Structure 1
Amino acid sequence: MIFFIAAAILTGAVILFMLRAVSAKPGDETGQSPAMDVYKAQMGELDRDAAAGLIPPADAEAARIELSRRLLAESRKDGSAAASRSSRVPRPGIIIPIIVLPFAAIGLYAWLGTPGMPDMPLGERMSSALQNQDVEILMAQVEKHLAENPNDLRGWTVIAPVYLRRERYNDAVLAFSNVNRLGEPSAASETGLGEALVGAQEGVISDEARAAFQRALKLEPGFIRARFFLAIAADQDGDREEAVRRWKDLLASSEEPDGGWRRIARQRLAALQPETQVGPGGAEIDAASQMAPEDRQAMIRSMVAGLAERLKENPDDQDGWIRLIRSYTVLGDREAAARALGDARAAFAGDPETLGKIVAAADALGVAAQ
C-alpha cells in the first residue's frame, strides 16, 4: 500500500510539472531545461515522503542517487539546444503522452503484475540467496543481520545448518541453541545441536550432546538421526547390549531404506556380534562328528542356510560371503556357491577392493558367478 501511495504522488508530481513546463510561453523560459524542474520537484517530493515514512530509507536513498545522477546529466546539456528541440515538438504531441503513459503503465502492471503479492520475508530471501550466490558472502550478510538483530529466529534457523555443513561446529552450537531458545524446539533442531556438539568434541558424544538427542526423541520418537547418534553413544560407552539393541532397532526401521546409516549399522552390529557371522563352531563340529552322515549333512546345511539368511540382512560382511561360498563348495552345491558369488558382487558393486578379495577367494575354489 505504501508503494502505491508513493508511486501515485510521484506520478502526479511528474505530470503536473511537465504540463507546467510544456504550457509555458517561449518568452517565459529562463534557459533551464524543464526536466531540471521536474527532477528538482521529484527530489523535494522524495525527501518529504521519506521524512513521512512513506518510503523505506533504502529505497529513498536509491531513488535520491538516481535523481541526482539525472540532474547532473541534465545540467551538462546545452539549455538552448534543449529548448530548441522542445519547441519543434507540437504541444499536443507532448501533453497527450504525458497524461496517457503513466496510466497506461499502471494498467499494464495491473494486468501483467501481481500487486497483491506480499513482500518476501527476510528469512526466505536469505534461504533463496544461499542457493544462488556465493555462500561465504551471504553468510557474512546473514551474520551482520544477526549481529544487529540477535533475536531473529528465522535468521538463526537459516544459518545453523549451513554452519554444521561447513564444519563450523562452535558457531553451529550457538546457532542451534538460539533456534531452540527463541522458538519451539523440534527434533531436527535438537539433533542439529547434538551433532554440532559432537563435531566440536571431535566425534565424542558428550553428556550434553546425548541429552540433546534424547530431547529430540521425546519430541519425535522415530527420528532416525537422533537414534543413530544414541546407538553410537552406547557403542562408545562400551555398553554392548544397549548398542546391539539400538543398532537392531535402526535396521528394523522402515524409514529411509537407502540411508547411508544402514551400512554403518550393519558393520557395527557385525563387529559387536561376530558369532552371528561365523559357520559351525567347535562345539557344533564335535557334535556333528557323532552324528550319522545324513544328520550331519542336514545340520551343516541348516547352519549354511542360517548364514545365507544373515547375509541377506547384513550384506556388508566380506568374510561372511567367503565362508558361504566355501560352505556351498564343501557341500558340493556349486550352483548355490555361484549364486552366492553373484549376490556378493551385487552387495559390493560400489566397493571394488572388497569385491576383489571375495572374487579371488571364489576363484581359488573354482567358483564363477552365474
Structure 2
Amino acid sequence: MMIWAAIAAMTGASIFAILRALSQVGHTGPDNSPDIALFRGQLAMIDDEALRGDLTANEAEASRAEISRRLLALTRRPQKHADGMSRLSSLMRRRVAASLALIVLPVFSLTFYVISGQPRLAGKPMQLTSGAELENQNVERLVQRVEQQLAQHPESVEGWDLLARVQAQLGRPDLAAEALGQAIVRGGATIDRLIALSEAQIALSGGIVTGDARQTLERAASVSPHDPRVDFFLALGLRQDGRHDDAIVKLGSALAKSLPDAAWLPLVRDQLARLLLDDLGADVPQSLNPADVISALRLSISAAATTPGHDVVAWRRRLLAHMVLNGIDGLDSLVEEGRAALADNRAALAEFDAFVAQLVHRS
C-alpha cells in the first residue's frame, strides 16, 4: 500500500505544480538563452535514453519533472495581458488545461504503470542520492550523449555550442575551448562564441589575460566594437599589465556601453570605483563590499575640489565618477561644462575630447 500512497502523493504534487503554473500569467524569456538550451538538451537526452531502454519509465519521468521545474522557474516572467478579451481567452485555456491535468494525467499514469510496470513486485530499499549527485549524473549523461551525436554528426554547430556550455559549467575550460574552436570553424566567429572562448582561455591561465585571450578579445572587438564585455576583459588585462589609466578608460567604456539593467553592470561599477579610489589615493580593502566601495567613492569625490578648473585629468576623473554614481544621465551637460572650462587650453581640450570620444563613442 505504501507504493500506492507514494504514487498518489507524486501525482498530487505534479498536478499542484501544473495548476500553480497555469494560475500565473507570465511569459518566457528569450528562447535562445544558453541555460534554456541546456535544459532542453537534457530533456531530449532523457527521451532518447528512455526510448533505448537505458532509463526506466519512473527514472525518466522523475528526471523530466526535475528539469521541467528548473526550466519553468528560469523562463517564468510577469506579464500583463493586453485587454479583457485576451485575459478571458487565457483563463479559458488555463481551465481546460487544468481539467485535462486533473483527469488525464492520473488515469494515464496509473494505466501506464499497470501495463508496463510491476505492481506486484516486492519493494526494495531505494538508494539515497543527493540532488547534487543526481544533477551531476544528468549533466555527465548529457555530455556523453552530445559527444556521441557529434561523433556521428561533427558538422552540428548547435552540438558544439551546447557541449562548450556544459563543459564550462563543469569547470573544464580546456574542453570548453576545444568545443568553441570547433563551433567557430563550423558556425563562424560570433561575438558570443569569441567572448566565451576568451573566458575559457582566461580561466585556463588562472584568471590571467594571456596573449591568446587578448587576441581573441581583439577579434571580438572587430566583430562587435560596442559590446561592453570586450572592454571589461580587456580592462582586466590592462590592469594586470600595470596600465592603470588605460584600464580605467576601458572600464568607463564598458560602463557607457552597458544597458541600465545589464547583469554585469554592478561588477563594472565596482571595479571602476576601486580604480578611481586608488587613483585618488584612497586605501580600499579588497574585502570591502560593492555598496561600501560606491559610498567611499562618493565621499572622496565630495571631498575633492568641486571645480576641476583647467586640470584635464581631474575632469576625466569627474566624468568617470559621475558614470559610476549616476550612470550616463546628465553626462552630456557635464561634458559641455568640462569643454567650457578647458576652452582656453587647446591641447587640454583636444585631449579631453579624445577621451570623451573613446569613452562614450557609439555607432
Name the TM-score class by shorter chain: 0.3 to 0.5
Q: Which has the higher contact order (CA 8 A, sep 6+)?
A: 2
